[in-house]
A and B are shown apart, each in its own frame.
Chain A
Amino acid sequence: MQKYILKRIVQAIICLILVSIIVFMLSRLSGDPLTLMMPPEATEEDWDLMRRQLGLDQPIYNQYWKFISGAVQGDFGQSIRWEKECLAVFLDYFPNTLLLGAAAMAFSLIIGIPFGILSAYKVGKWYDNFAKLFALMGQSFPVFWVGIMLILIFAVQLGVLPTSGMGGVQHLIMPAFTLGWYFAAAQTRLTRSAMLDVLDREYIKMARIKGVPEWSVILKHAFKNAMLPVVTMAALNFVVLLNGTVITETIFAWPGVGRLVVQAIFSRDYPVVQTCVFIASGLFIFTNLLVDVLYAYLDPRIRFQ
């Protein structure tokens, strides 16, 4: 078990180093990153000053070493637009994204899991067909269109919800629904397939023969065993959801990390962009590691692969 955990940790560290190289190279893809950051009216002295300030006159391996050694200690450099530490800018916006992400995840679990269970229990009936249609629609509707349609219906036509911004619960409803819609569909599909897998097992037949009430068979016996892949995927989906808030936050002007990245790109503030992408990837790698270790702990078959 320890050997497996150690192996996964080493793999995660290698991935993190490769991610840091990719993130570092992102703003250098077109050559000199300063050409992306400097305004057109900047003078020669401004360019030299900026180059020295950002350390861009150093050799590239020195620049990378400065970036990675700073990143490990939480120092991602100074933001050009917000004029404070990049990490501080990120942490100003991150709680809002967490709130939106948690609301969207709650919505996707509340809708997805019961739909999935019901659909697996009554395969072929109308609930199953409805759940399958819902899952299909969820994965086919583009996120930005769902958001715009919700604004059109509830904010413009009916006027019951605000169009954008962050405030009370009414501001959270439409963004959470928009963001959680796709994951609700994915959760329905996953729960359905996990439940179908479990409902065929011998111990379920035994429970029915024993005379256990049907609700107990489904919820206590079947769902508890099907929950393992559902919960581990939900944890991974949460991070994917957090990383996918760019469009939703842009549509609803929600002050989160996704909107921060778009604003930073348009203001040419690449240190902030680097910070956001690096931390988002780091979160995903860390959650993946945690989920794999948890899965190995709970399901011994994985450890011996």
Chain B
Amino acid sequence: MTETQNSPAVQTKGRQNRSTARKRNIVVRLRHLPVFSLIILAAVIFVGVFGPYFAPHDPVESNLMDAYTPPFESREYILGTDHMGRDVLSRIMGGARISLIVGLTVVFIAGAIGTLFALVSGFFGGWWDTLIMRLTDTFLSLPYLMVAIVMAAVLGANVRNIIIVLCVIGWAGYARVLRSEVLQLKEADFVRLAVTAGCSRTKIMFKHIFPNIINTLVVLATLQLGVTIIAEASLSFLGMGVPPPNPSWGLMLAQGRDYITYAWWLCVWPGVAIMLTVLACNLLGDWLRVRLDPKFRQI
């Protein structure tokens, strides 16, 4: 006699099949995650947040007796020490914190400003669009590093001013890209229906259009995080960023340059840290771009 569909044996087998299928689904999805970039970024975030609690030494405290210790020769200073006897590993961990603070703050603020301008410019059109687009083109045509170092020199070199400088220069990229998305969405049926239904323009912008541009915004923000970290390191390298003795990857490279002939590790480790972080951001951004929008799979 054949079992009916709702018999307990079939139901149990069905539940097992569903649970196995769900587990297989999760494993398949996990295999497609960008494991390398997630591990690196998780490590950087963990070190940035909890670094001060488990760094082997104080990144700012100098100990001239132990200056120029090469890496891997002393158990106390795994990555060596610099010209002031400061532990390179502890300074790299401190630098991660500064890079993260600057990077995430700038991406958030510049992204918010750029998104707002893109929404207003794309949705309202007319004079708003002309004005905002001319402003965007102007900021995009400025030589960003030159302007950044001038502003940093004028305002003074500290973390708050670097964030201000990088936000002022960085918002235009977001505005330009997101505006074209907003222009496309403006013509979509659901937006026209919302207008017909009598929705206020602000409500359409933030409730209907904004959720649809979040995908592009997330991809852009991830890629811009890497760019911002390099920008902060460049400013610190030129002496316009985080002031000494605070640890910053760019500042460590600038200081290490003077001792390159006999202390090669002072230039190598901070650069590796920057490179791995930015590589992880770029890989994650590329993965997100493909995952969130199949149009870009070829690039």
Which residues of A pack against B, CB within 8 Å?
11, 14-15, 18-19, 22, 26-27, 29-30, 36, 136-137, 139-145, 148-149, 151-152, 156, 189, 192-193, 196-197, 243-244, 246-247, 250-251, 258, 261-262, 265, 273, 276-277, 280-281, 284-285, 288
Dominant SS among interface residues on chain B: helix
Q: How many residues from B make CB contacts under 8 Å with A?
A: 44
- When distances are taken between beta carbons in the complex, the residues of chain B under 8 Å from A151 are 260
User: Which residues of chain B (57-90) have a CB below 8 Å from chain A?
Assistant: none
Contact of B210 with A by CB under 8 A: no
Cβ distance B234 to chain A, nearest Cβ, rounded Å? 6
Cβ distance A5 to chain B, nearest Cβ, rounded Å? 17
- When distances are taken between beta carbons in the complex, the residues of chain B under 8 Å from A152 are 260, 264, 267-268
Q: Is the CB of B260 within 8 A of A243?
A: no
The stretch among B24-32, B102-110, B132-140 that forms the contact with chain A is B132-140
A-B contact pairs, 14 of them (CB 8 A): A14-B134, A26-B151, A136-B282, A136-B283, A140-B275, A142-B230, A144-B253, A145-B271, A193-B298, A243-B145, A246-B145, A251-B257, A277-B143, A288-B141
Q: Is the CB of A143 within 8 A of B234?
A: yes
In the assembled complex, the Cα of A43 lies from the Cα of B253 at a distance in Å of 39
Q: Is the CB of B271 within 8 A of A149?
A: yes
Kindly report which residue of chain A lies nearest to residue B223, judged by CB atoms: A139
Q: Is the CB of A247 within 8 A of B234?
A: yes
Q: A139-B282, A151-B260, A246-B238 are in contact. List 18 more A-B contacts (CB 8 A).
A: A11-B137, A15-B134, A15-B137, A18-B134, A19-B141, A26-B147, A26-B150, A140-B278, A140-B282, A142-B234, A143-B230, A144-B234, A144-B253, A145-B253, A145-B275, A156-B260, A246-B149, A250-B238
In the assembled complex, the Cα of A284 lies from the Cα of B299 at a distance in Å of 26
Q: Which 10 A-B pairs have the closest CB atoms?
A: A243-B143, A145-B271, A140-B279, A18-B138, A280-B143, A284-B141, A140-B278, A265-B153, A193-B299, A29-B154
Dominant SS among interface residues on chain A: helix
- When distances are taken between beta carbons in the complex, the residues of chain B under 8 Å from A197 are 298
Q: Is the CB of B141 within 8 A of A149?
A: no
In the assembled complex, the Cα of A189 lies from the Cα of B137 at a distance in Å of 24
The interface bits of chain B over 140-161 (1 if a CB of A lies within 8 angstroms of the residue's CB, else 0) are 0111111101110111100000
- When distances are taken between beta carbons in the complex, the residues of chain B under 8 Å from A247 are 145, 234, 237-238
Taking each of A152, A196, A265, A280, which has the highest tally of chain B beta carbons within 10 Å of its own beta carbon? A265
Q: Is the CB of A281 within 8 A of B141?
A: yes
Kindly report which residue of chain B lies nearest to residue A139, judged by CB atoms: B282
Contact of B114 with A by CB under 8 A: no
Contact of B51 with A by CB under 8 A: no
In the assembled complex, the Cα of A30 lies from the Cα of B153 at a distance in Å of 10
In the assembled complex, the Cα of A27 lies from the Cα of B153 at a distance in Å of 9
- When distances are taken between beta carbons in the complex, the residues of chain B under 8 Å from A265 are 149-150, 153
User: Which residues of chain B (142-191) have a CB below 8 Å from chain A?
Assistant: 142-147, 149-151, 153-156
Contact of B274 with A by CB under 8 A: yes
Cβ distance B248 to chain A, nearest Cβ, rounded Å? 13
Kindly report which residue of chain A lies nearest to residue B136, judged by CB atoms: A15
- When distances are taken between beta carbons in the complex, the residues of chain A under 8 Å from B234 are 142-144, 247
User: Which residues of chain B (235-260) have a CB below 8 Å from chain A?
Assistant: 237-238, 250, 253, 256-257, 260
Contact of B261 with A by CB under 8 A: yes
If A36-B154, A144-B237 touch, does A281 touch B282 (CB 8 Å cutoff)? Answer: no
Q: Is the CB of A19 within 8 A of B142?
A: yes
Cβ distance B65 to chain A, nearest Cβ, rounded Å? 26
If A26-B151, A148-B257 touch, does A18 touch B230 (CB 8 Å cutoff)? Answer: no
In the assembled complex, the Cα of A151 lies from the Cα of B156 at a distance in Å of 31
- When distances are taken between beta carbons in the complex, the residues of chain A under 8 Å from B267 are 145, 148-149, 152
